[in-house]
Amino acid sequence: MLTVGVIGTGMIGQDHLRRITRVLAGATVTAVTDVDADLAKRVAEGLPGAVVHQTGEELIADPAVDAVVVCSWGPTHEQYVLAAIAAGKQVFCEKPLATTEEACRRIVAAEVAAGRRLVQVGYMRRYDAAYRALKAAIESGEIGNPLMMHCAHRNAGVPGFYEKESIITDTAVHEIDMVRWMFGEEISSARVLVPRKNRNGGDLQDPLLLILQTEGGALIDVELSVNIRYGYDIRGEVVGEDGTASLGSQSPVVVRGGGRVASPVPLDWRERFARAYDVELQEWIDSVASGGSPTGPSTWDGYAAAVVSDAAVEALRSGSLVAVSLMERPALYEVVA
Amino acid sequence: MLTVGVIGTGMIGQDHLRRITRVLAGATVTAVTDVDADLAKRVAEGLPGAVVHQTGEELIADPAVDAVVVCSWGPTHEQYVLAAIAAGKQVFCEKPLATTEEACRRIVAAEVAAGRRLVQVGYMRRYDAAYRALKAAIESGEIGNPLMMHCAHRNAGVPGFYEKESIITDTAVHEIDMVRWMFGEEISSARVLVPRKNRNGGDLQDPLLLILQTEGGALIDVELSVNIRYGYDIRGEVVGEDGTASLGSQSPVVVRGGGRVASPVPLDWRERFARAYDVELQEWIDSVASGGSPTGPSTWDGYAAAVVSDAAVEALRSGSLVAVSLMERPALYEVVA
Amino acid sequence: MLTVGVIGTGMIGQDHLRRITRVLAGATVTAVTDVDADLAKRVAEGLPGAVVHQTGEELIADPAVDAVVVCSWGPTHEQYVLAAIAAGKQVFCEKPLATTEEACRRIVAAEVAAGRRLVQVGYMRRYDAAYRALKAAIESGEIGNPLMMHCAHRNAGVPGFYEKESIITDTAVHEIDMVRWMFGEEISSARVLVPRKNRNGGDLQDPLLLILQTEGGALIDVELSVNIRYGYDIRGEVVGEDGTASLGSQSPVVVRGGGRVASPVPLDWRERFARAYDVELQEWIDSVASGGSPTGPSTWDGYAAAVVSDAAVEALRSGSLVAVSLMERPALYEVVA
Amino acid sequence: MLTVGVIGTGMIGQDHLRRITRVLAGATVTAVTDVDADLAKRVAEGLPGAVVHQTGEELIADPAVDAVVVCSWGPTHEQYVLAAIAAGKQVFCEKPLATTEEACRRIVAAEVAAGRRLVQVGYMRRYDAAYRALKAAIESGEIGNPLMMHCAHRNAGVPGFYEKESIITDTAVHEIDMVRWMFGEEISSARVLVPRKNRNGGDLQDPLLLILQTEGGALIDVELSVNIRYGYDIRGEVVGEDGTASLGSQSPVVVRGGGRVASPVPLDWRERFARAYDVELQEWIDSVASGGSPTGPSTWDGYAAAVVSDAAVEALRSGSLVAVSLMERPALYEVVA
């Protein structure tokens, strides 16, 4: 039984606590902490055997904690991940790995110095059954070499604190990681094209068309529509030399009524990716439980996503093509996928 | 942590052991047994902390076992379920509850005497996301009162020991339970219509069209094709007064290649219902863990399925309409669904 | 240019007039008649060069009429078809060929005596692109020998004059002809199963499940729902030894809105089968224009549909299986399809 | 009966001759001509009543010709269209209207001088049932203001004479016209993005991503894949403020076999757009038969398509954004759609 300490007991932290405690096998929560100590205490009440620590560093140092899950505010990720690496403990860090390229580089350096993978970043799409089937279809060779990908990332609406850059940093970042993994290549440039605005989005520049190109020349377009009302809809079609492969519809039910044949669309990302979160954390638990290394998104993946995301933000601001420049990849992170 | 003892460590038993140990939360396996003692011993080696018992009765009596999972050969189910009831322990029994109507009645009597639900039967379709969405669509009222249902149960092929009646007792029995649950009504008659034979099935009378009617007059047709080669395909459409609701396709991927747009069909029931088995057992663990009662298919459901299945077998043999006659339903089992 | 006289200028007659005049190539209307002489006159005003006859017999005798289209009231079909045969003129007769089995036999006898095919009956489904693709898929052998077929014939509602038997004689008769053509076999028995009633249908016994079996043992089930509100929906799936083939959805557009992905369902048969009517009449014109024989549904098909329809009506009344007994097929009508 | 003369009796000319003669109502072919006089003669043999003219001009001057269909080699379109305008005769001109912007302007000037619409250009997608349903869905307002459109134009392969620019001038030109019509706005800029090459295309730069923007800011991306082997596939999804609308699949049949559920993809544009060609020409015949004006794509549409196509070719060559500059629209051509 892997003992886990959770840093950050807000919405996503509570969701992971529920997951570890009530859904997944092989792990138990032994410690929690939060910047809001009262919240941490209340959350711990529902977790028999879990202690509350004053700080993340204290939690990481707790010998009753085998591995750490970081769900705190983004700007604090770096310090906890570095502390976990320093303590030689496995750490699962929610997106983003860190909020600046420099912070990501420091984590890369620390992990490389440690000599083994200790970090997994929470890009859960890699664990979604549909994305996995899509990747398997491509790898089967049945559509030939993949040349392009068309994606759409649609939200019914966005929260009040959502800003101009959020459409890249909060929304498109999922496609940025997914594309690197799907093609097994680094992204080399980003460009953002701007259609007329959706009235639902107020002043927000919504929708956008993000164009990514990989180092091998694959071209990816991503429609970002974050106030499209009708639901949460994630789509992807990879165009190969001999055919294409797309994410399936996966609707559990079809209703014929009122003049139409209709299937429901998920309301939000929780509904769409609930299982992916489960699988992600279960595979992490399984991989690190007996002293193994994580098999999921690495520090390098977190770093690359940050750099591409920065380039896309610059492309949104400038209207121009922005080249992506990555540091040399350490041997620890041999392949993208 | 619910401690579970598993009786029967064959294919399905091993699958449940893996599920409890590596997939689900809240339970741990503390004991196993099998008619093949060597097999039980080998299986137990992969389960730290699990002891091997000589008999099912011994396992049931073990104070380190809170609840029992019965995965042994069908004809032995009755004795273990009765023993568990006698011991006041919760028991999850794989299909069928028992192999004769009389045995089912004896279990009903024992559980009624015990005064509370101690038994859950393994009809996992009730836990499938698509069937649940279908039931929810009907209960929403959007298609009006449900009047008919069209089902298809298709297997690519069947094992060598499959006999003439198996198409009812092993295959159609899933639809028999599902229909009772979907409509919330008992089935009152069965009839079997016989098309020309599929050459893939040899001498087997395959396919069949099973016709069920509920006490309220809903009419259900079930195509049973058990050698249809192309895959495992479970379909269902409920016809209401104002529209219909169907199981969705749920294909994770769509490939455009070689002149067609295509989605994969599952190979077999394991692939199609893997998640339903997980959810089924997790909900059972959750419901009984703190001394609660199971919320899934009851002894009554197992009994009713047995009686309807017997009627369908007689209908297959006779070619006539066969009425279903159920005993009075004890108050313990108030509603069908 | 084939000169055509149209008997019956009601709704369907006017539709065929429009079709010949404004949609199809190779024919022109030279004469019309109707039991309502004023209606015929008004309709003729829109048809330059068309004369109005007092009776169908007079129209048939008109040397300016090469071929006859019969769209009058069903009970009058026999007399006009016989008159056309007597005159040696090609006749396209709307469904039904005649309203009794005896009348159909008289037409068979007359045409056999004439020694060549002069009659085509208006079963337009054989001209529908989807049904043709379905038949082609079966004939390609890719699903193996066809064993069963599941059909649904759903109407949003039915007109006031619709009676208990209409669900067979007006509605199911389309499937009766289609099944004979699809399987290339005669139907040997009919049975009708009765679910609980749809409140939308008032006293009408709606829906029904019609079960047909062919002489070769293929089993066909047809859901007949004629007050299902949501639209006009015609479905069919043929179950073969190795797979199945179904009518496609053919929706021209998919809308994602209001929480769902939806495609429109046709409102009524006019929308669904508009093109089939066009193709049907164009192929008839093409086949008979230069003295050729019609290639579509024959007198025999009209006769067989009448006999099976009578059997299904008896099955609806009696609740029992009713055998179908056909006369020996004259050599003029060599094959079903 | 509209009398039609056809200039150019090659593949597309013969197809239109067949259409007018054997499929559509209301027109008859009275004259043909071709640069290959022998070909014209052979073709005329199958057309009773049609004379063969030495030149297009002679055919246009023939008093037995009411209206002209131009199917000759593109560079000759201008002279025949101008001659028809000069003769005051309606002319249906296959794509392109003319091969240079200047030639298009000369036709605009001539038609404006004539004071009424005499020209229709053969953009047949506007007559496709799916595109029409898509436009109707947008105009219904159910998806809100349309902001973006995603298109794919895929060919299994292309003929030997296909050149680098053909992917714009022969292939994308259909989307260029369709987009103008769909959005009811002029296109104001074009850009071409270049992924890595498909090996099936040899040296050809295939696929491409063409990006168009309308004067109102709608952004359209068009995947152009002309050697994708699997079939001919035309897709389109309009993204609105509240939802999206897409072209439906329209597959006539679905086959479950060999482990998958599959629908056929059309082989080529003939199969996909056969009906659109019929409807296009029938509506043209209907609109001009009694001295009326054509309602389909105008000289202006032909001109605008030429200018946008030129811009896209320049964008392909330069890799840069190219602005589209149109002359002022004469009052004769009031709206785009």
DSSP secondary structure, C182-214, as one string: HHTS-EEEEEEE--PPPGGGTTS--SEEEEEEE
What CATH number is given to the structural domain containing A248? Answer: 3.30.360.10
In a domain, residue A154? The reply is yes
Tell me, what's the pLDDT at D335?
Answer: 60
C-alpha dist (Å) from residue A112 to A116, A326, C53: 7, 16, 98
DSSP states of C32-82 as a string?
A: EE-SSHHHHHHHHHTSTT-EE-SSHHHHHH-TT-SEEEE-S-GGGHHHHHH
Mapping DSSP to helix (H, G, I), strand (E, B) and coil, where does residue A43 land?
Answer: helix
B53–chain A nearest CA distance, Å: 25
Is residue B120 located within the same domain as residue B132?
no
The predicted pLDDT at position C249 comes to: 85
Of all residues in chain A, the one with the smallest CA distance to B142 is A257
Contact check, Cβ <8 Å, D243/C250: no
Single out the residue of C256, C182, C172 nearest to residue C214, CA to CA: C182
Closest CA to C283 of C174, C173, C139, C126: C126
DSSP D80: H
Residues A286-337: pLDDT tens digits? Answer: 999 989 999 999 999 999 999 999 999 999 999 999 999 999 999 999 764 4
Three-state secondary structure call for residue C110: helix
- CB contact under 8 Å between A247 and B253, yes or no, is yes
With CB atoms and an 8 Å threshold, state whether D257 touches B230: yes
- For residues D204 and D110, membership in a common domain is answered with no
Distance CA A210, CA D221 (A): 11
Q: Which residue of A has its CA nearest to B26?
A: A22
pLDDT at residue A335, rounded to an integer: 60
pLDDT at residue A249, as a whole number: 85
CA gap B315, C46 in Å, rounded? 62
Rg from Cα positions in chain D = 20
B288 and B316 housed in the same domain: no
Other CB atoms within a 10 A radius of the CB of residue A146 amount to 25
Chains touching chain C through at least 3 C-beta pairs below 8 angstroms are: A, B, D
Q: How many CA atoms lie within 13 A of A214 on its CB side?
A: 23
* Claim to verify: residue C240 and residue C283 sit in the same structural domain: no
Do A229 and D211 count as a contact with CB atoms less than 8 A apart? no
Element (H, E) at D3: strand D2-7
Chain A residue with Cα closest to C250? A261
In a domain, B168, yes or no: yes
Place of tokens 């009378």: B205
CA–CA separation, D324 vs D186, rounded Å? 9
Helix (H, G, I), strand (E, B) or coil at A19: helix
On whether both B251 and B161 belong to a single domain, the answer is: yes
Same domain, C80 and C154: no
Tell me which chain A residues have a C-beta less than 8 angstroms from the C-beta of D145. Answer: 196, 198-199
Dihedral sign, Cα of residue A213, residue A216, residue A218, residue A223: negative
Instruction: Looking at the complex, report in whole angstroms how far the Cα of residue B9 sits from the nearest Cα belonging to chain A.
Output: 20
Say yes or no: C133 contacts chain B, CB-CB below 8 A: no
Question: By C-alpha distance, which of D233, D252, D234, D235 is closest to D244?
Answer: D235
In a domain, B334, yes or no: no
Name the DSSP letter for residue D296: S
Q: Specify the CATH number for the domain of residue C108.
A: 3.40.50.720
Q: What is the CA radius of gyration of chain B?
A: 20
Is C19 domain-assigned?
yes
C148 touches chain B (CB under 8 A): yes
D320 touches C: beta carbon within 8 Å? no
Distance, in Å, from the CA atom of C172 to the CA atom of D67, rounded to the nearest integer, reads: 47
pLDDT at residue C335 in the model = 60
Q: Nearest residue of C to residue B231 by CA position?
A: C243
Residue type (1 letter), A43: V
Is residue B216 situated within a structural domain? yes
- The number of C-beta contacts closer than 8 angstroms across B and C is 113
* Contact call for A217 and D195, based on CB within 8 A: yes
* Domain span at C60: 2-124+276-297
- Whether D198 is in a domain gets the answer yes
d(CA D76, CA D70): 9
Q: Do D245 and C263 touch (CB under 8 A)?
A: no
Evaluate whether residue C332 is within a structural domain.
no
Mean pLDDT, residues B224-242: 98
D290-323 CB burial, b ≥16 within 10 A, e <16: eeeebebbbbbbbbbbbbbbbbbbbbbeeeeebe
Q: Which of A205, A101, A96 is nearest to A158 (CA)?
A: A205
pLDDT for res A187: 98
**A147 in contact with D at a CB cutoff of 8 Å?**
yes
D257 and C142: CB-CB below 8 Å? yes
Tell me what the pLDDT averaged over chain B comes to: 97
Number of independent structural domains in chain B: 2
Per-residue confidence (pLDDT) for residue B160, from 0 to 100:
85
Q: How far is CA D23 from the centre of its chain?
A: 20
Residue D265 to residue B251, Cβ atoms within 8 A? no
- Which residues, 6+ apart, have CB-to-CB distance to D325 below 8 Å? D307
Q: Which amino acid is at B188?
A: S
Whole-angstrom distance, CA of residue B191 vs CA of residue B204: 18
Residues 242-271, chain B, touching D (beta carbon < 8 A)? 249, 251, 256-265, 267
Q: How far is the C-alpha of C112 from the C-alpha of A153, rounded, in Å?
A: 67
B252 vs A21, A248, A282: nearest CB: A248
Interface contact B193-C219, CB threshold 8 A: yes
CB within 8 Å of B279: residues ≥ 6 apart: B127, B128
Residues 6+ apart with CB under 8 A from A85: A91, A107, A110, A111, A114, A118, A119
Q: Which chains touch B (3 or more CB pairs under 8 A)?
A: A, C, D
d(CA C4, CA C282): 13
Residue of A nearest to B275 (CA): A275
pLDDT value of position D243: 98
Per-residue pLDDT tens, chain A, 337 aa: give them.
999 999 999 999 999 999 999 999 999 999 999 999 999 999 999 999 999 999 999 999 999 999 999 999 999 999 999 999 999 999 999 999 999 999 999 999 999 999 999 999 999 999 999 999 999 999 999 999 999 999 999 999 999 889 999 999 999 999 999 999 999 999 999 999 999 999 999 999 999 999 999 999 999 999 999 999 999 999 999 999 999 999 998 899 999 999 999 999 999 999 999 999 999 999 999 999 989 999 999 999 999 999 999 999 999 999 999 999 999 999 999 764 4
Q: Tens-digit pLDDT profile for chain C (337 aa)?
A: 999 999 999 999 999 999 999 999 999 999 999 999 999 999 999 999 999 999 999 999 999 999 999 999 999 999 999 999 999 999 999 999 999 999 999 999 999 999 999 999 999 999 999 999 999 999 999 999 999 999 999 999 999 889 999 999 999 999 999 999 999 999 999 999 999 999 999 999 999 999 999 999 999 999 999 999 999 999 999 999 999 999 998 899 999 999 999 999 999 999 999 999 999 999 999 999 989 999 999 999 999 999 999 999 999 999 999 999 999 999 999 764 4
Question: Which one of C257, C258, C263 has the shortest CB-CB distance to A261?
Answer: C263
**Which candidate in A256, A263, A267, A268 is best for mutational testing of the C interface (most C CBs within 10 A)?**
A256
Q: Do B259 and D267 touch (CB under 8 A)?
A: yes
Please, what's the b/e burial string for D108-142 (b: 16 or more CB within 10 A of its CB; e: otherwise)?
bebbbeeeebbbbbbbbbbbbbbbbbbbebbeeeb
CB contact under 8 A, D245 and C251: no
Q: DSSP secondary-structure letter at B187?
A: E
| D258 and D192 within one domain | yes
Q: Are residues A106 and A168 in the same domain?
A: no
How far away is chain D from the Cα of B263, in angstroms, using its nearest Cα?
5
Q: Is C16 exposed, middle or buried (0-12, 13-18, 19+ CB in 10 A)?
A: buried
CB pair distance less than 8 Å for B230 and C242: yes
Record: contact A256-B243, CB cut-off 8 A = yes
Cβ pair B151, B211 in contact under 8 A: no
Asked if B241's CB is within 8 angstroms of C228's CB, the reply is yes
**Burial readout D200-239 (b: 16 or more C-beta within 10 A, e: otherwise):** bbeebebbbbbbbbbeeebbbbbbbbbbbbbbbbbbbbbb
Instruction: Establish if A83 belongs to a structural domain.
Output: yes
A199 inside 8 A of chain B by CB? no
Mean pLDDT across B294-322: 98
Buried b / exposed e along B263-288 (16+ C-beta atoms within 10 A): bbbbeebeebbeebbbbbbbbbbbbb
Residue pLDDT, tens place only, B86-123: 999 999 999 999 999 999 999 999 999 999 999 999 99
Closest partner residue to B207 among C199, C239, C242, by Cβ? Answer: C239
Q: What is the pLDDT of residues A8-30, one digit of tens each?
A: 999 999 999 999 999 999 999 99
Which three-class secondary structure string do you get for A233-279?
Answer: EEEEEEEECCCEEEECCCCCEEEEECCEEEEECCCCHHHHHHHHHHH
In the numeric block, which tokens belong to residue D21?
């003669």
Q: What percent of chain A has pLDDT over 90?
A: 96
CB B263, CB D249: distance < 8 Å: no
Q: Are strands B27-33 and B51-52 parallel, antiparallel or unpaired?
A: parallel
Enumerate the H helices of C101-210 as residue ranges: 101-114, 129-139, 166, 173-183
DSSP letter for each residue of B132-172: HHHHHHHHTTTT-SEEEEEEEEE-S---TT--TTHIIIIII
> In terms of CA atoms, which chain A residue is nearest residue C231?
A259
Side chain identity at D327, as an amino acid letter? M
Token reading at A247: 């994410």
Q: What angle, 0 to 180 degrees and rounded to 10, lies between the N-to-C axes of helices C11-18 and C37-45?
A: 20
A312 and A283, same structural domain?
no
Asked if residue A319 and residue A177 are part of one domain, the reply reads yes
Mutation site for D-interface testing, chosen from A228, A229, A246, A254 by largest number of D Cβ within 10 Å: A228
User: What string of H, E and C letters represents the secondary structure of A85-140?
Assistant: HHHCCEEEECCCCCCCHHHHHHHHHHHHHHCCCCEEECCHHHHCHHHHHHHHHHHC
Among chain B residues, CA nearest to A260: B243
Q: Are residues A316 and A175 in the same domain?
A: yes
Contact B247, B235 (CB under 8 A): yes
The number of C-alpha atoms within 13 Å of C62 and in the hemisphere containing its C-beta is 26
| Residue D125 structure tokens | 């997608």
D132: Cβ–Cβ under 8 A, 6 or more apart, which residues? C252, D126
D49 at the C interface (CB within 8 A)?
Answer: no
Q: Is A196 close to D147, i.e. CB distance below 8 A?
A: yes
- State pLDDT tens for residues B6-46: 999 999 999 999 999 999 999 999 999 999 999 999 999 99
Q: Tell me the mean pLDDT in the region B130-149.
A: 98
Instruction: Based on the fold, state whether residues C74 and C211 are members of the same structural domain.
Output: no
CB contact under 8 A, A261 and C249: yes
Interface C:D, Cβ pairs < 8 A = 119
For B148, which of C209, C213, C217 is closest by C-beta distance?
C209
Contacts of A243 in chain B (CB under 8 A): 255-258
Place of tokens 């977790």: A47
Report CA torsion sign: D283, D289, D295, D298.
positive
Pair D196, A218: CB distance under 8 Å: yes
Q: Could you list the pLDDT tens digit for every one of the 337 residues in chain D?
A: 999 999 999 999 999 999 999 999 999 999 999 999 999 999 999 999 999 999 999 999 999 999 999 999 999 999 999 999 999 999 999 999 999 999 999 999 999 999 999 999 999 999 999 999 999 999 999 999 999 999 999 999 999 889 999 999 999 999 999 999 999 999 999 999 999 999 999 999 999 999 999 999 999 999 999 999 999 999 999 999 999 999 998 899 999 999 999 999 999 999 999 999 999 999 999 999 989 999 999 999 999 999 999 999 999 999 999 999 999 999 999 764 4
Number of CB atoms found within 10 A of residue B63's CB: 7
